[in-house]
Structure 1
Amino acid sequence: MTVRVERDKASGVAVVTLERERTHNAIDLATAAELTSLWRELRHEEEVRAVVLTGAGRAAFCTGIDRGVSVPQPSSPYSVDDPLLAIGPKANDLWKPVVAAVNGMACGGAFYLLGESEFLIASRTATFFDPHTTYGMVSAYEAVYMAQRMPFGEAARMSLMGTAERLSAERAHAIGLVSELAEPGELRAAAVRAAETLAGFPPEAVQGTVRALWSAKQAALQQALAQAPALISLGNLPPERQEALFTARRTHPEPRVR
């Protein structure tokens, strides 16, 4: 198991932890399948009324897809098989509130999860970045999710600057991506505290409000995501060239944190 779930029936909160600390909680195919299954299970668990989502350790919340994952792609530029498309709660029709507790790095495919959380609480040591362009890849799904959570200029800068820059927790809080900052040792407690408040309210009202909030942006989100497969097929470098750029990453200068 690469996803750990702790259910507290008394409070109504489930804490979901990505358990791949050695790989900075990168998501392989098994983890993707576990997340999809878990969100669908939680829809039917009435004792769970709110969720905290985090990563094991303090180094990383999630660093996106595991580089060891290989997914054969169709030849058509209009189709892309993306193993991360169904890892988020909304993709699995879960409308219970999800609070993301961001510990350390959050980058790339992590935005599938952050993009489908209600709000983010971050450790003061957290950083956010999107490495796609550095490695010859189109940031499509990730950029769309972040463009809905950040001012356009900030989302564009993060998506385009690749590994050259990282967004600090303080800056993420200032622009509204993060709703609360916590000291590293207090992050989980802060996220659980918020989730316990949500779990203490009538669930029909909470879930209805979650659904209403998402309906306000879902049409635009779906239209934007529909363009992603073709953009990725047209803009991505061949896998071997991506791998060469990724292997050469150690020669890159240290990223600027802003």
Structure 2
Amino acid sequence: MSDQIRTRRDGGVLEVVIDRPKANAIDLATSRAMGLIFRDFRDDPDLRVAIVTGASEKFFCAGWDLKAAASGDAVDGDYGVGGFGGLQELRDLNKPVISAINGICCGGGLEIALATDLILAAEHATFALPEIRSGTVADAASIKLPKRIPYHIAMDMLLTGRWLDVHEAHRWGFVNEILPAQRLMARAWELARLLESGPPLVYAAIKEIVREAEGSTFQTAMNKITKRQFATVDRLYSSEDQLEGARAFAEKRSPIWKGR
């Protein structure tokens, strides 16, 4: 799959590029390959941050490959270890992931973006959930999108399949930054480098707390934090990095994070 999913590793940053002309649509084999890539990213202690983007200037990802589906690639098949696109259902992914939206981002492509932590978008990027027109449901988006943006806007997208330009997407809050196309990847790497230099154990705790608290009451989640019932929180509070952070602050210097 190296010709369809390209990766580049530089220091603690992994760049993942979907390269399936012409729309960067994802079939079962591609989804499984992405699952292995993101699983290995999760499990590699030397990797801190991932960036996912599309290869062309027109498409980030058009989502599910309907041509493959029409020829028998089962819609409800085995998408791989991480679910569709390798990110939707990947357990314990406690590292930051950035999506750099370089064009059309629709259907499952938008669901992949929603599975990341930060979304940067080029000025020409557009967004939609057109599944309604092909007689299927945008399952992950139906769960996530009404929690991320106003309910009625999410339902508008789900029920009508209408397109949003990047400025409306930013206005509703599911795009962090709008950038000129030629600046998109440079900014993604700049942000990745910033995160790479940060405390990995704290990032892990943040991601687990946010993920697990989504289905809990505030007090239940707070009790689990204070009682160190989250594995990442327990590890953080017993770590060298916890002490290093306090020492660095007291000594008025930059901390040196070791991830342990």
Q: TM-score w.r.t. structure 2 length?
A: 0.75
Q: Is the contact between residue 110 and residue 127 of structure 2 (CA under 8 Å) also seen in structure 1?
A: no
The 1:41–1:218 alpha-carbon spacing in structure 2 relative to 1, beyond 3 Å, is farther
The match for 2:192 among 171, 195, 219 is 195
The 1:158–1:203 alpha-carbon spacing in structure 2 relative to 1, beyond 3 Å, is same
Give aligned-pair identity as a percent: 31
Residue number in structure 2 paired with 1:159: 158
Q: Is the contact between residue 86 and residue 92 of structure 1 (CA under 8 Å) also seen in structure 2?
A: no
Q: TM-score w.r.t. structure 1 length?
A: 0.75
Residue number in structure 2 paired with 1:242: none
Aligned pairs (5 A) from 1:198-213 = 198-213=195-210
The 1:82–1:150 alpha-carbon spacing in structure 2 relative to 1, beyond 3 Å, is farther
Distance 1:86 1:60 in 2: 18
Give aligned pairs, total: 209
Specify the SS of the correspondent of 2:119: strand
Deviation per CA, 1:89-128: give whole Å up to 9, x if none.
3622221100111111111111331121012111110000
CA drift of 1:143 comes to 2.1
Which structure 2 segments of 5+ residues have no match? 218-260
Distance 2:52 2:140 in 1: 20
Distance 1:96 1:168 in 2: 29
Structural RMSD (CA)? 2.0
Q: Is the contact between residue 89 and residue 95 of structure 1 (CA under 8 Å) also seen in structure 2?
A: no
CA drift of 1:142 comes to 2.4
Specify the SS of the correspondent of 2:105: strand
More RCO (CA 8 Å, sep 6+): 1
Specify the SS of the correspondent of 2:63: coil
**Does 1:33 find its partner at 2:32?**
yes
Residue number in structure 1 paired with 2:114: 115
Distance 2:116 2:159 in 1: 23
Write the letter of the residue equivalent to 2:55. A
Specify the SS of the correspondent of 1:154: helix
Q: Is the contact between residue 122 and residue 182 of structure 1 (CA under 8 Å) also seen in structure 2?
A: yes
The 1:112–1:219 alpha-carbon spacing in structure 2 relative to 1, beyond 3 Å, is farther
The match for 1:89 among 87, 90, 94 is 87
Q: After alignment, is 80-89 or 193-202 more displaced? A: 80-89
Residue number in structure 2 paired with 1:15: 15
Flag as ranges the 4+ runs of structure 1 deviating above 4 A. Answer: none
Distance 1:82 1:102 in 2: 26
**Does 1:6 find its partner at 2:2?**
no
Distance 1:83 1:110 in 2: 14
Specify the SS of the correspondent of 1:61: strand
